[in-house]
Amino acid sequence: MSTNNVEFHRVLKSTPDRVYRAFITPAAFAKWLPPHGFVGTVHEMDSRTGGSYRMSFTNFTTGHSHSFGGEYLEMEAGKRLRYTAQFDDPNLPGKMHTTVTLREVFCGVEVNIRQEGIPSAIPAEACYLGWQESLELLAKLVEAEIKD
């Protein structure tokens, strides 16, 4: 069984801390990670090395949901995190590994994401499209400067 891998590079007008928090704060993760047309729900999140998370994406048009979860393998605040994800659906077998590295640059934060082990039933193009939409939402969340 083959798997797919994808990589992304973005520079966001934000800070490494704010982007990092978007990955480990349940409400933020549910807001930006689901691609367009999906609603995300975080069912549990213990964002520490060795901790785990569970969430689901629900198709807003059909109401069909798919759930997944994983473990946090490595966490360095504002710099790096690695986590796994595994779908509950037996038709999407395997364990994906996602590595996120953050680096402060003069105009914001450089974000590099690599996701490995994507089930072969998910075409790489669909994964690229979904991540592009998610990263668009991430930018809208972390680039906003709202003063209380």
pTM: 0.93
Task: For the chain, give every domain's residue range.
Answer: 3-143
Fold of the domain spanning 3-143: Alpha-D-Glucose-1,6-Bisphosphate; Chain A, domain 4 (3.30.530)
Residue 148 has pLDDT above 90, yes or no: no
Q: How far is CA 123 from CA 7, 23, 120, in A?
A: 14, 24, 7
Residue 2 has pLDDT above 70, yes or no: no
Among the residue ranges 36-40, 48-52, 58-62, 118-122, the one predicted with the least confidence is 118-122
Q: Which of 63, 54, 42, 36 is nearest to 130 (CA)?
A: 36
Residue 105 has pLDDT above 90, yes or no: yes
What band does 81 get if pLDDT is binned at 50, 70 and 90?
very high
Q: Which of 66, 73, 60 is nearest to 122 (CA)?
A: 66
pLDDT of residue 82: 98
Structure tokens, 143: 């680039």
